[in-house]
A and B are shown apart, each in its own frame.
Chain A
């Protein structure tokens, strides 16, 4: 309730800034806030990463466990993504099972990774039809200061890139890094008035009419998209958003993910 009142009051302010081509914190429409990426922050997890995006903090842990494959993909590993909006992250989040907002974000992160073919799931097969690795990607939102979804996408892919498959633990050979094929990056654009801006802050998220998340691969193709929020987009806006998102995703990939590849 509080946030709704604040949003109403701030709306004019943010809207008027938008008209002047400015943003509350002085960024340009295509600027991300400062990003800090740490990997291997949780040693108990097979892979982990923490992303700080402005004041937004997201921690992703990857756990691998053997399990049975799906009947329609007997030689493929399984990816299960879960996202929790912990009550620690915002006064508006409540304990309990994930609600639709969290479920939606988890599924967007999941689709990005799955559809881009980020993980070589054929290499996660232990024995066909009987046992495969199940990759659990658990996204913990620690502090919500806006644009949790982009931070989650980045943290998830970074965590996967540092994941080690614990073969030794199962007595099936030496540990190997998780086989990765692609680096999908999600970029969210908020629509305020007629303008699109990347990486909306908490206030901008509260004020914006609608958001579009675009997950793109390194070849510039789109792996997933999701419109979130009640207001509509025009076709031109969607196409503009795709171009902006691809451009920003390429930058983020180069700045933060390429070096993880070199480390391996």
Chain B
């Protein structure tokens, strides 16, 4: 360590590095310098070099460190062993543990941790080169890295120290001033000037502290401007551009929705839908145009049988697809209802599922009937009218579908409204464990939910219909089919519902409740 220079402040009031008493060292900030971190920042302040990475909000480990009402903020200040003159021993020192604690507390008032319960927000600070004021530099860098990570904050935190050198209060001490000065007073504050970090060692009178506060406020304001400029540069986009992007994005999203049915992708049911679509497509590929033509010309041709069989199968699939659509709709509703109202009532859950199992039985009896109806119609249909019939049928089918949905909604609502009275109904005998729950709160949400689904379902049904131009059926026969489908939507839902839902559902629900 160098000996103390004779004067730390020259006669003309300048400091050894040429700064005035109220000047901060030059600061350079780079944002988003680490690709794996959620947010990062590299900051140079004088000869300090600080690198900060922010991770999270992410699951907090170990589990007992989680907090049910808020995210835990973890701040790790670490000095590289080569960052100081004499090699520092790697690993946490008592100093770095203390700095980590007070720095974390500097951020706790601004980070909106309550938005991310059970998670952790990790701030890792690496001091690569230290030259006095590393904790303030680290806080300034962390502020930027947190913003880069998109962590909601009430504002930026800025930090700056003042000290006493040669009996004079100066801003932002450098290494020599820190070593030989009389006091060091790091402060961190919010944009509103609230002090979130305050430490001090040395020797200051209350008046000197007052004077120091004025300097620190000035310093923090300057730093805040630098921070804001850096963030603007990275994140601010001109207004027109933003609007254009938004519309483009919206269009893209719509297109995607049509192509990929995104809202169903994640559901296990989606796999089933896809499977059905795939299955329905297969015959399409097998049948060459020739075959179809042959059928059209000669009804007696051997290919006809094949075509008819395929058509039959496909029709059956379509009906099933519709059933499934309702299944999904009803299921999503039920799920919502369940989650909203009965989160912690495992007892009810079992009763609930039991009730569906019970109701589902009639549906199995219904299905063969559809197939018969469909196949009767098929025989009469000419290939030439396939497409036109299909086109005609389409709008009607959609209307039907919408009506259907409305009915399903009504029914399910009715059902739920009735539920509280179920005690007196005969069903009660069959499901003695069923508990009665008030449903009012749940209903508005359900409506929203089904509206959201409406779009997707149309897409699903369209997808099915469009992929099978061969399907021969007159609008009327379709109507009949649909009407039958509509008659007992609730019951029909239950078959696949049970198959698809039970295994995944019971598992995940159990975990959520814990």
Contact = CB atoms under 8 A, between A and B. Distances in A.
B98 A103 contact: yes
A221 B97 CA distance: 28
Given A222-B200, A224-B200, A235 B94 contact: no
B203 A228 contact: no
A122 to B, nearest CB: 16
Interface string A222-244: 11111111111111001100110
Interface in B161-214: 183, 185, 189-190, 193-206, 209-210, 213
A232 B209 contact: no
B458 interface: no
Q: Which of under 10, 10 to 19, 20 to 34, or 35 or more describes the interface residues of B?
A: 20 to 34
B367 to A, nearest CB: 55
Given A232-B194, A233-B194, A220 B205 contact: yes
Interface stretch (B102-110, B123-131, B408-416): B102-110
B197 A100 contact: no
B98 A107 contact: yes
A232 B196 CA distance: 4
A106 interface: yes
A29 to B, nearest CB: 19
Contacts of A235: 193, 195, 213, 217
B372 to A, nearest CB: 65
B205 A227 contact: no
Contact of B202 (A100, A104, A223, A243): A223
Contacts of B19: none
B1 interface: yes
Interface residues of A, number: 36
Nearest to A73: B1
A238 B213 CA distance: 10
B95 to A, nearest CB: 8
A158 B98 CA distance: 25
A72 B86 CA distance: 11
B94 A107 contact: yes
Contacts of B100: 100
Given A228-B105, A230-B105, A234-B193, A246 B201 contact: no
A225 B197 CA distance: 11
Contacts of B95: 107
Nearest to A81: B94
B198 A233 contact: yes
A235 B29 CA distance: 28
Given A223-B201, A231-B109, A239-B206, A72 B195 contact: no
Contacts of B98: 100, 103-104, 107
B309 interface: no
B109 A232 contact: yes
Q: Interface SS of chain B: helix, strand, loop or mixed?
A: mixed
Contacts of A72: 1
B195 A222 contact: no
Interface in A30-54: none
A230 B109 contact: yes
A198 interface: no
A71 B205 CA distance: 31
A116 interface: yes
Contacts of A212: 198
Nearest to B190: A232
A221 B105 contact: no
Contacts of B202: 115, 223-224
B114 to A, nearest CB: 12
A103 B94 CA distance: 6
B28 interface: no
A111 interface: yes
Nearest to B185: A225
B105 to A, nearest CB: 5
Contacts of A107: 94-95, 98
A246 B109 CA distance: 28
A217 interface: yes
A226 B198 contact: yes
B101 interface: yes
Contacts of B198: 212, 225-227, 233, 238
Nearest to A219: B205
Given A100-B101, A242-B209, A115 B201 contact: yes
A234 B105 contact: no
Contacts of B189: 232
Given A233-B195, A235-B195, A106 B94 contact: yes
Chain A CB within 10 A, most for which of B1, B105, B198, B204: B198
A239 B211 CA distance: 11
12 contacts: A100-B97, A111-B201, A115-B201, A115-B203, A220-B205, A221-B205, A223-B203, A224-B201, A232-B194, A234-B195, A235-B213, A246-B206
User: Which 8 residue pairs spanning A and B have beta carbons closest together?
Assistant: A232-B194, A230-B108, A225-B200, A227-B198, A72-B1, A100-B101, A111-B201, A115-B201
Given A103-B94, A225-B198, A239-B209, 16 more contacts: A100-B97, A104-B98, A106-B94, A107-B94, A115-B201, A115-B202, A221-B204, A222-B200, A227-B197, A229-B105, A231-B108, A233-B198, A234-B194, A235-B193, A235-B213, A238-B209
